[in-house]
Amino acid sequence: MTKSEELFQRACKVIPGGVNSPVRAFGSVGQTPRMIASAHGAYMTDEDGNRYLDFVGSWGPMILGHDDPTVREAVIAACADGLSFGAATRREVEMAELICSSVPNVDMVRMVNSGTEAVMSAIRAARGFTGRDKIVKFMGCYHGHSDALLVQAGSGVMTAGIPDSAGVPQGCTKDTLSAVYNDLSSVERLFEEFPDGIAAVIVEPVGANMGVVPPVKGFLQGLRSLCTKYGAVLIFDEVITGFRLGFTGAQGYFGVDADLVTYGKIIGAGMPVGAYGGKREIMERVAPVGPVYQAGTLSGNPVAMAAGLAQLTILKEQPEIYDELNKKGQWFYGSLKQIVEEAGAAVQVNSCGSLGCMFFTAEPVVDYASAKTSDTSRYSEYFSHMLSNGIYLAPSQFEAMFLSAAHTREELADVLELVRSFMRG
């Protein structure tokens, strides 16, 4: 028995499914999860000493690679000053100033502890600002596990085949309307049905929780126009795209203005951090200034702020990191596309910048329904082939690959050869 197997057996006795987040259970790929002991640069090492080139990057935070020395030093220095005070601190001010001075349409920002919390709070702020109850989300998009958003969600919900979730009363989701990603008419119909009833439209500006599904031309701009026309708040859930597509995130990358934006992952550099922010007129409805209540014991935690500030400062001061990362992504996913086409394989390669994924289906993937045509058992074979060759991919067809600044083109070229050999069967 490997150490991972032994630890996982113990885990299953005391943690539901042996994991603290469902997708980590490797359930849909039929493998024992590898218990990771350490990670440096583009690599992770498990408890048995096996080393993997990592394409999960903690699901997005590790854009610089694991254990960046500057980030590590900042965390160690912050720890020496104390871990948490439950009081206002300099670092929170610096983090808020950094975000508000860099990202369009974010006049004010509130720190929370996860992407789920950021989205839940942004929805509440939008409802408080508009006085309306209904929200529109897109099938296949995942916005964390707050009750109202667990409706035809992506990520682990999609992987586990749970169309919704047990334990969520109908009352919590009756105001959640589902639309079709990349289909503006499906949104227009909802606004025509509830012209004064929709508080917000929330969208992943690049779908990354049903696998990677980029927006078709005009989709995001169309959402902007509809929200403006009907007085609804447009929320970009940038927990994945924020500070990944570029320093101004999806708003800058696509040139579309949101009213509220949610963050997570990269802004914490691996520490538990989320944030929501946007127009002053909306954010000033949030307590203690306004009537929309939201709070958190560890929100703006000084150690987490130190980690996030260190990572964001590197990204802001070295914009060439994004140029290289996006060029590397274009080359890598473009090469993957070439390999599957040469092999005549029923595989689609979708990508946007450093995000990408391979869908095992012959059908172009543009939304939840087409993503679901993927052959998940074929994906499972692919996953196992790559894992046995030291490549750590998302243990689910419906997740993204995350390239980092630490992945070299030489390493990626070797990965391409492994994919080529798999496609040859």
Residues that bind ligand KE4 (CB under 6 A): 21, 23, 59, 114-116, 119, 142-144, 155-156, 204, 208-209, 237, 239-240, 264, 274, 399
- The residue (of 33 and 274) whose beta carbon lies closer to ligand KE4 is 274
- Is 337 an active-site residue? no
Helix (H) / strand (E) containing 54: strand 51-54
- The residue (of 112 and 306) whose beta carbon lies closer to ligand KE4 is 112
Give me the catalytic one of 52, 142, 253, 322: 142
- The residue (of 187 and 208) whose beta carbon lies closer to ligand KE4 is 208
Alpha helices in 103-183 (DSSP H): 115-130, 155-159, 170-173
- Is 382 an active-site residue? no
- The residue (of 271 and 347) whose beta carbon lies closer to ligand KE4 is 271
Nearest by Cα to 204 from 400, 18, 382: 400
Contact 172, 239 (CB under 8 A): no
Residue 423 CA, distance from chain mean position: 28
- Is 323 an active-site residue? no
Q: Taking the complex as a whole, how short is the minimal distance between the CB of residue 291 and ligand KE4, in angstroms?
A: 25
Instruction: Please give the structure tokens belonging to residue 59.
Output: 């699901």
Q: For residue 286, what is the DSSP state?
A: B
Q: Taking the complex as a whole, how short is the minimal distance between the CB of residue 293 and ligand KE4, in angstroms?
A: 20
Contacts of 161 (CB under 8 A, 6+ apart): none
Give me the catalytic one of 54, 68, 237, 367: 237
Give me the catalytic one of 265, 322, 333, 372: 265
Q: Taking the complex as a whole, how short is the minimal distance between the CB of residue 278 and ligand KE4, in angstroms?
A: 16
b/e burial code for range 380-418 (CB count within 10 A of at least 16 → b): bebbbebbeeebbbbbbbbbbbbbbbbbeeeebeebeeb
Q: Taking the complex as a whole, how short is the minimal distance between the CB of residue 424 and ligand KE4, in angstroms?
A: 30
- The residue (of 230 and 356) whose beta carbon lies closer to ligand KE4 is 356
User: The tokens 């917000």 sit on which residue?
Assistant: 200
Q: Taking the complex as a whole, how short is the minimal distance between the CB of residue 320 and ligand KE4, in angstroms?
A: 26
Instruction: Give the catalytic positions in this structure.
Output: 142, 237, 265
